[in-house]
Structures are given as C-alpha cells and as structure tokens.
Structure 1
Amino acid sequence: MDVTAVKLLGERVHPATGRVVSYTVCEVMGGTAHVADAEEVAELAWVAHGEILEYVPYGLFEPVQEYLDAALLS
C-alpha cells in the first residue's frame, strides 16, 4: 500500500521477537494490502475492533490500543 505517515505512536522492543518496532499511524493513499515478505509476516487480515484479541492474544502495545479505542469507538 502507498501510505503517508501521520503520527508516531511509540517504539519498543517487541516482547515476542526481541526486535525494535515503531508503531505509526498512516493515511492510505492507494494500493492494495498484501504480504510483501512472507518471512516477516505470515498473513494479512482486516478485522473489526472487537476481533483484535483473536489475532493478538497477548494484547496490543498500549499506545496502539489507546489510539484504536479512540479512533474506532468514538
């Protein structure tokens, strides 16, 4: 997808992978979502707010969860 970065939500060392991860809010400019690197990402799914924990059972990084709650539940 073609996106424009809007806001950095935060960075952390991911608890499962040990990698430094940046979480950024983006505006979609165009394109189609797809898995570009199967070694990095197993699959792509668009899910409803209430379904997130089915895909991320350990919960989201708190700033990401707060952003999604505000954006999707308001």
Structure 2
Amino acid sequence: MSDQPVDEMTFEQAMKELEDVVAKLERGDVPLDESIGLYERGAKLKARCEKKLKEAEEKVAAITLDAQGQPVGITPVDPQ
C-alpha cells in the first residue's frame, strides 16, 4: 500500500491501489486489524475513483459541438 494521501492520487493510481487492496482482502490471509485498515483505505480509494470519474464525465458533457458535430469549445458546467 502506498503512503500517498488518497486525495492527491490520480484516477489510475487510486484504481491500481484499490485493485491491490481488494486482492489482499479476497485472499483472506491478513490479520483482522490489517483487514479493517485495508477496508477503510479501500473505501477512500473507491470514493476517489468515483470523484475523478464524475469530474471526467462532466468535462465530456460540457463539450459543445458545431452543426457538423465537431467539438468547438466547452460550455460552463453548472456546479450542483
């Protein structure tokens, strides 16, 4: 597991570490206390991945197209 704060990770870093956490938990060969820590870290990693995906979806949704369907710019995203 990385010591890097989850909120500083890229989507790819968080996803890779989340995969590692899940693999360790699925093996079931870690002590209970470590399993709890892994589960907590995994929950934070999952939330980070979901946040980064939502940000990417919002950016894609904001792309405006011209009459021929070509991207010409972005529209402001309405924060909710």
- TM-score of the superposed pair, with normalisation by structure 1: 0.27
Please state which structure has a larger fraction of its residues in helix: 2
- TM-score of the superposed pair, with normalisation by structure 2: 0.26
Structure with bigger gyration radius: 2
Please state which structure has a larger fraction of its residues in strand: 1
